């Protein structure tokens, strides 16, 4: 584990979280942290990442640990390291010390957990070694791919209702992640003129994140092929006319995430067509953020983005017709085929391990509309929620060359005009926006997003 | 997957490997590549790392694939991506194209594998989703923690005998990994004067590796507490009197590893005590490399390191007595408690997933001697073997403060003299050495290791 600088405030934050949980459920909950995943052999593991629900209540990324929460009390279960491990891993804080750091009411060896499982709910951890243990101890299948049921579902809903809005402890961490992510993007822009391949820009960005003793909160996208939405290839050469789309976010040592996308020109100057589309995407981005406020439906924010993009594309002569009508036809989704954003917290898609339990208000389901099916968040906004706003424009061959789509939208797209924008393969602008009581605060605002300002950061 | 620049030479290399395998076994072998491990939710995965045995014969890091090898023929089993995946992941090469890249004799959907499992041997992959599939298809438990048995053991031995010595295709990759690792270490040294924490030096080093579109072949050690052998903490501040021990290696896109350690002074200048010990470790390092030659027992290289270190510590007045006698007493292991090195290839501890099958000549077992138990390689050297040479000196509190040890070694250590070396907590110097027909070649020789030369690289 990492020895972190903890303070009495961590104890207070964690106590408040478990007291709030106790107001929502009247049965015990056991949360496991998980164990390391072997990479190519048992001793060569991927960096340990504790389960997010565990982190929320336990505060520290302890491997092979569990906590039992009941009536506002926290019991910590973990084993002290073997004496021989001091040779390889150094002196680690003992269970009792960790218990103090997190304000646990008791601390016991992990073996004692089996006597305290009666009537306890849990949430599945991702690694097989741990969900096997969970299933054995609780005597029922606890699988990450199975939707929770019974008391596990009640626990999941209670945890969702807490984690949906962020307390001060969470926000302090989220702000740290945002600051470092901003610095990483600036480093990527600065490294661009000398870079020959995507990988070099990525190296500059992730180097900054590692230098702050953080990790990436998801596999970075750093690509000249922004039209591939989840592109995890970094070998393409950078050509002067290319745009780089970089979707890179840091995660703090305690596990809290940021998620930023910027798109910038390799040459340092947007072409006029690139700038035209960039400004459309930015207009959608700005309009959405201006509209964020408690009570507003996030689905409406998505539709607003769709409408502003449709308007912009009509103005540029790419789409034909009335923006409102085009959005009803899902014509915007030809170029903006994903949702406007998602929840952000301990996970980059916060609580996505619980399916749509966090993202969708109870009773709502994913739409099967082409333009809405990928929407990951469909709830009225509340103060303390952190969401991403990430409109984009992409020329995805799999969409635009699809015969069904192109015949359906044959009349609304000016294909000849569109062909003039061939140097715009993918643009996305993404910031992290906190809903506040009187509107919103952009946690990532320190990173410029206006075209001129972005150009100035390059090289 | 990564689309790699392949060439007809890859086809030739792979064909030779499977023909050599066919000379060793007369039953079919099926090797799986493995699948991605989820991190905090299903869609947020750790970077995919294909199984090393699969990589050796298939050449490309294909996820969710398998190959069947029989009589020198290779059949590839994988599914083409769903059409919808092009939106998210872009156009991927099709099964048939990949089959061509690797010179497969046939290419089929993964579902057809189940009709071709009769009498086939395999090797367990690390991730649970895959070893579950392996166990189901072959109708026996294939667990990564279980030693292979029957035909699986025969296959494992055959693969070990191939992978123990590297062909030209492997060496080309291993040299690439070495070059980038050397550059990473130079970047770490250059970043030291401005760095305030270990993490900043690590960021500079891993940034270089990422910029070359490579990954680290193991979790980096970058620490001022080199006495913690597997230290994976990076939060310590750098103080002017500290030594930084950096054990960092790159892995190519095809999966081949490097493994380098250097130790350098934060201030840019070794203290006289630090330099004295550094020179002892370097003398051991140089003596071992000078001795490497076909036919030499690697265990003797380890004992040579122990002897040179013991001699050096006697000369410095830290140990008392005759070096040979001290090594027989394991007194050197008070300060050098690990093995002199290990095999290096597709894995940083090559083939450690098979336990000691690769590291130990048949019939040999780990010693229970304090000074020999951690030796990972105990075989006569052969041309084409790549090994690390990594002597070190550490003041490990868990060893030196151990009452049993310190009473046993009370008379051979001059504790008062030792106390003058308090600013030497841990030093290790590690290079990657290829056994050649007429001696050896240091693949990492481009990174200086003499104290003066290291000082010059700082800042």
Contact A427, A365 (CB under 8 A): no
Per-residue pLDDT, averaged over A306-325, amounts to 97
d(CA A348, CA A261): 13
Contact B52, B17 (CB under 8 A): no
CA distances to A295, B8, B90 from B77, in Å = 52, 21, 21
Per-residue pLDDT, averaged over A317-341, amounts to 96
A/B interface, count of CB pairs below 8 Å: 190
- Kind of pairing, strands B73-77 and B106-108? parallel
pLDDT value at A82 more than 90:
no
Per-residue pLDDT, averaged over A251-260, amounts to 98
Contact A433, A344 (CB under 8 A): no
d(CA B316, CA B418): 9
Q: Could you tell me the pLDDT band of residue B261, with boundaries at 50, 70 and 90?
A: very high
Residues of chain B positioned with their CB less than 8 A from the CB of A195: 211
Q: Does B373 touch chain A (CB under 8 A)?
A: no
Per-residue pLDDT, averaged over A334-361, amounts to 97
Q: What is the greatest pairwise CA distance in chain A?
A: 74
pLDDT of residue B2: 45
* Rg, chain B, Cα only: 23
CB-based burial label for A437 (10 Å; 0-12, 13-18, 19+): exposed
Taking Cα atoms as reference points, which of B137, B146, B141, B173 lies closest to residue B52?
B173
pLDDT of residue B8: 63
User: Chain B residue with minimal CA distance to A374?
Assistant: B88
For residue B382, how many other CB atoms are within 10 A of its CB?
13
Provide φ and ψ at A308, rounded to 5°: -65, -40
Q: Does A446 touch chain B (CB under 8 A)?
A: no
Nearest to A126 among B38, B47, B398 (CB): B38
Q: To probe the interface with A, which of B49, B146, B176, B211 has the most A CB atoms within 10 Å? A: B211
Per-residue pLDDT, averaged over B142-146, amounts to 96
pLDDT value at B362 more than 50:
yes
Taking Cα atoms as reference points, which of A122, A104, A74, A38 lies closest to residue A353?
A122
Chain A nearest CA to B439, separation (Å): 30
pLDDT tens digits, A119-149: 999 999 999 999 999 999 999 999 999 999 9
Residue range A168-457, CATH number: 3.90.230.10
pLDDT tens digits, A383-429: 999 999 999 999 999 889 887 777 889 899 999 999 999 999 999 99
Q: What is the DSSP letter of B413?
A: B
- Judged by CB atoms closer than 8 Å, whether chains meet at B213 and A199 is answered as yes
Q: Does B215 touch chain A (CB under 8 A)?
A: no
d(CA B225, CA B227): 5
Chain A nearest CA to B438, separation (Å): 32
Chain B nearest CA to A131, separation (Å): 11
| CATH 3.90.1150.10, applies to A8-163 | no
Locate the domains of chain A by residue range. 8-163, 168-457
pLDDT of residue A2: 44
Angle between helices A8-22 and A168-191 (to 10 degrees): 120
pLDDT tens digits, B406-449: 788 989 999 999 999 999 999 999 999 999 999 999 999 999 99
Residues of chain A positioned with their CB less than 8 A from the CB of B163: none
Average pLDDT of chain B to the nearest whole number: 95
CA angle A18, A23, A29 (to 5 degrees): 55
Task: Report how far Cα A14 is from the mean position of its chain's Cα atoms.
Answer: 22
Interface predicted TM-score (ipTM) over 0.90: yes
Beta bridge partners of B440: B435
pLDDT of residue A8: 63
pLDDT of residue A3: 44
Q: Does A235 touch chain B (CB under 8 A)?
A: yes
pLDDT tens digits, A22-45: 999 999 999 999 999 999 999 999
Q: Does B237 touch chain A (CB under 8 A)?
A: no
- Judged by CB atoms closer than 8 Å, whether chains meet at A42 and B352 is answered as yes
pLDDT of residue B339: 95
Q: To probe the interface with B, which of A31, A37, A39 has the most B CB atoms within 10 Å? A: A39
Contact A425, A379 (CB under 8 A): no
Judged by CB atoms within 8 Å, which residues 51-70 of A form the interface with B? 51-52
Q: Does B368 touch chain A (CB under 8 A)?
A: no
pLDDT tens digits, A222-241: 999 999 988 889 999 999 99
Q: CB-based contacts of B88: which residues, under 8 Å, 6+ apart? A: A228, A229, A230
Q: CB-based contacts of A100: which residues, under 8 Å, 6+ apart? A: none
- Judged by CB atoms closer than 8 Å, whether chains meet at B87 and A200 is answered as no
Judged by CB atoms within 8 Å, which residues 403-422 of B form the interface with A? none
CB-based burial label for A227 (10 Å; 0-12, 13-18, 19+): buried
Strands (E), A26-81: 29-32, 38-41, 44-45, 66-70, 73-77
Q: Could you tell me the pLDDT band of residue A7, with boundaries at 50, 70 and 90?
A: low
pLDDT of residue B3: 45
d(CA A311, CA A317): 10
pLDDT value at A72 more than 70:
yes
Strand order in the sheet with A106-108: A106-108, A73-77, A66-70, A29-32, A121-122
Helix (H) or strand (E) holding A388: strand A386-389
Strand order in the sheet with A260-265: A221-223, A243-248, A260-265
- Judged by CB atoms closer than 8 Å, whether chains meet at A349 and B234 is answered as no
pLDDT of residue B6: 52
pLDDT value at A16 more than 90:
yes
Per-residue pLDDT, averaged over A329-349, amounts to 96
- State whether residue A358 is helix, strand or coil: coil
* Rg, chain A, Cα only: 23
- Judged by CB atoms closer than 8 Å, whether chains meet at B83 and A213 is answered as no
pLDDT of residue A1: 43
pLDDT tens digits, B155-207: 999 999 999 999 999 999 999 999 999 999 999 999 999 999 999 999 999 99
pLDDT of residue B373: 82
Taking Cα atoms as reference points, which of A83, A44, A84 lies closest to residue B217?
A44
pLDDT tens digits, A191-216: 999 999 999 999 999 999 999 999 99
Per-residue pLDDT, averaged over B311-316, amounts to 98
**Model-wide pTM > 0.90:** yes
């Amino acid at each position: 584990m990492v020895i972190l600088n903890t303070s009495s405030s961590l104890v207070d934050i964690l106590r408040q979280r478990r007291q709030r949980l106790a107001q929502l459920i009247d049965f015990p909950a056991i949360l496991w942290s998980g164990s390391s995943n072997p990479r190519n052999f048992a001793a060569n593991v991927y960096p340990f990442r504790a389960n997010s629900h565990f982190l929320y209540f336990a505060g520290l990324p302890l491997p092979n640990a569990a906590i039992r929460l009941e009536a506002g009390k926290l019991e910590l279960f973990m084993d002290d390291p073997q004496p021989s491990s001091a040779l390889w891993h150094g002196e680690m804080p003992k269970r009792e010390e960790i218990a103090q750091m997190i304000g646990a009411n008791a601390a016991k060896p992990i073996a004692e957990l089996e006597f305290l499982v009666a009537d306890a709910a849990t949430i599945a951890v991702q690694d097989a070694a741990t969900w096997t243990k969970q299933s054995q101890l609780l005597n029922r299948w606890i699988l990450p791919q199975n939707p929770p049921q019974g008391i596990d579902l009640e626990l999941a809903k209670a945890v969702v209702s807490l984690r949906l809005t962020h307390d001060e402890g969470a926000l302090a961490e989220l702000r740290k992640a945002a600051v470092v992510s901003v610095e990483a993007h600036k480093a990527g822009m600065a490294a661009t003129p000398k870079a020959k391949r995507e990988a070099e820009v990525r190296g500059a960005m992730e180097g900054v994140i590692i230098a702050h003793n953080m990790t990436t909160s998801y596999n970075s996208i750093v690509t000249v092929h922004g039209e591939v939405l989840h592109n995890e290839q970094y070998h393409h050469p950078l050509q002067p006319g290319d745009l780089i789309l970089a979707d890179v976010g840091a995660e703090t040592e305690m596990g809290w995430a940021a998620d930023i996308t910027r798109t910038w020109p390799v040459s340092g100057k947007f072409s006029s067509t690139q700038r035209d589309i960039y400004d459309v995407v930015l207009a959608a981005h700005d309009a959405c953020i201006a509209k964020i406020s408690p009570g507003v439906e996030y689905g409406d924010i998505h539709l607003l983005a769709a409408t502003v993009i449709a308007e912009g594309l009509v103005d540029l002569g790419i789409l034909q017709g009335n923006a409102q009508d085009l959005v009803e036809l899902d014509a915007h989704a030809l170029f903006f085929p994903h949702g406007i954003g998602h929840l952000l917290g301990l996970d980059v898609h916060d609580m996505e391990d619980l399916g749509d339990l966090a993202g969708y208000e109870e009773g709502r389901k994913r739409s099967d509309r082409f333009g809405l099916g990928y929407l990951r968040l469909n709830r009225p906004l509340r103060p303390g929620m952190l969401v991403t706003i990430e409109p984009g424009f992409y020329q995805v061959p799999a969409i635009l060359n699809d015969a069904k789509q192109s015949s359906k939208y044959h009349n609304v797209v000016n294909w000849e005009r569109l062909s003039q924008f061939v140097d715009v393969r993918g643009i996305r602008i993404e910031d992290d926006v906190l809903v506040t009581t009187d509107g919103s605060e952009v946690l990532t605002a320190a990173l410029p997003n206006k075209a001129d300002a972005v150009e100035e950061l390059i090289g």
